[in-house]
Every structure is written in structure tokens, then in C-alpha cells.
Amino acid sequence: MAYTWFVLLLAGSGTALMLLLLHGTGLGVLLHERIPDRPRRRLFVATVSFFLTFAGVRGVVYCITHQIPPFHFVVMEGRHIHHLVFGILILLAVGYAWLAEIGVGAGPSSLLASRLLSILYGVGAALTLDEFALWLNLRDVYWSREGRASLDAVVLFGALLAAGAWGAPLLSSRKKAGNS
């Protein structure tokens, strides 16, 4: 149970650090200047959060499987709780918040909520898709050949997030100066 709190503390600290960088430094202002479109900013933040979480989770699972302290599997009443469970719960919370239109206004608190929800969306998606092969096989195949399906899912979804953040300007037509 202590490991559960450690993982939650780690995830909370990472989220807080990312929020601090976006909201408490010039990085947030730079992000606004470079990506003026709010949905694209949300996609960018979610993409960064997604890939950082995926890398972190893979590192933690590697440490667990190689018995590197202080990492252990989350076990409750003898049952291994996979990290996709936490990912699904986070995705449900973010989805509900967006349905309730939290973080869609124009004020500073709405901007903070928007950034937080974007970060959490990336975290939840990474935790969930990192165990995609478990969905398919209904058994733990994390490091086996069958576990490759999780990597494929992460790459495909990460590419979709990245294309939404960066690719949209490439696909839209622009009027050339003088042709107005």
C-alpha cells in the first residue's frame, strides 16, 4: 500500500511541476505566443505529458521487474492492480470535467484548469495504452513479444496527438499575401 502512495505522490509531483512550468514561468506565455489556438495548445500539452508519462512508467516497471527499490507492484488484498486502472480512472475524471465544461472559459483559473486537464489527459492515456496488450490478451504480456501491441498503440496514439498539435497548420490552406 505504501507503494500506491509513492506512485500517487510521484504522479502528483510530476503534474504539479508541469503546471508550475506552464503557469509560473515564461514557458506558458511562450506557449500562448507560439500556439495561439487553444485546442492545439491543449493537444501539445497532452502530447508532452503523454510521452513523459509513458517513459516514466516504462522506467518504473523496469525497476519493479528487476527488483530495484523502492518500486513494487500495487497489490490490494492479494490482487495486482495494473496501472491501466489508474489511467482509466483519470480519463473518466478528465472526460467528466470536459463534459461539465471545466477549463473552457477565458479567465486565469479556467486557463489553469485547462492546462491541468490537458496534462491529466496525457497521463491517463499513457497509463492506459501502456498496457494495451493486456486488453487484447487478457493476461500480463508486458515484456513478452505479444506486449509489442502496447508499444504500437502508444506510437500510434502519440502520433495522433502530435499531428493534432503540430500537423494542423501544415494541412490548412493559407492565403498568400497579395492574393486577398
Residue 176: inside a domain, yes or no?
no
Number of domains in the chain: 1
Judged against a pLDDT cut of 70, whether residue 2 lies above it is answered with no
The DSSP result for 31-48, as a single string, is HHHH---HHHHHHHHHHH
Residue 177: inside a domain, yes or no?
no
What pLDDT, in 10s, does the model give residues 95-148? 999 999 998 887 778 888 999 999 999 999 999 999 999 988 988 899 899 999
* Confidence (pLDDT) at 8: 67
What pLDDT, in 10s, does the model give residues 21-39? 887 788 888 888 888 888 8
Residue 64 lies in domain: 2-165
What pLDDT, in 10s, does the model give residues 40-70? 889 999 999 999 999 989 988 898 899 988 7
Percent of the chain exceeding pLDDT 70 equals: 88
Residue 133: inside a domain, yes or no?
yes
* Confidence (pLDDT) at 73: 84
Residue 34: inside a domain, yes or no?
yes
| pTM for the structure as a whole | 0.84
Residue 16: inside a domain, yes or no?
yes
* Confidence (pLDDT) at 3: 55
* Confidence (pLDDT) at 180: 42
Residue 107: inside a domain, yes or no?
yes
Cis peptide upstream of residue 70 (ω within 30 degrees of 0): yes
* Confidence (pLDDT) at 179: 47
User: Residue 140 in contact with residue 134, Cβ under 8 Å?
Assistant: yes
The burial of 24, by beta-carbon neighbours within 10 Å (0-12 exposed, 13-18 middle, 19 or more buried), is given as: exposed
Q: Which residues contact 154 (CB under 8 A, 6 or more apart)?
A: 54, 126, 129, 130, 132
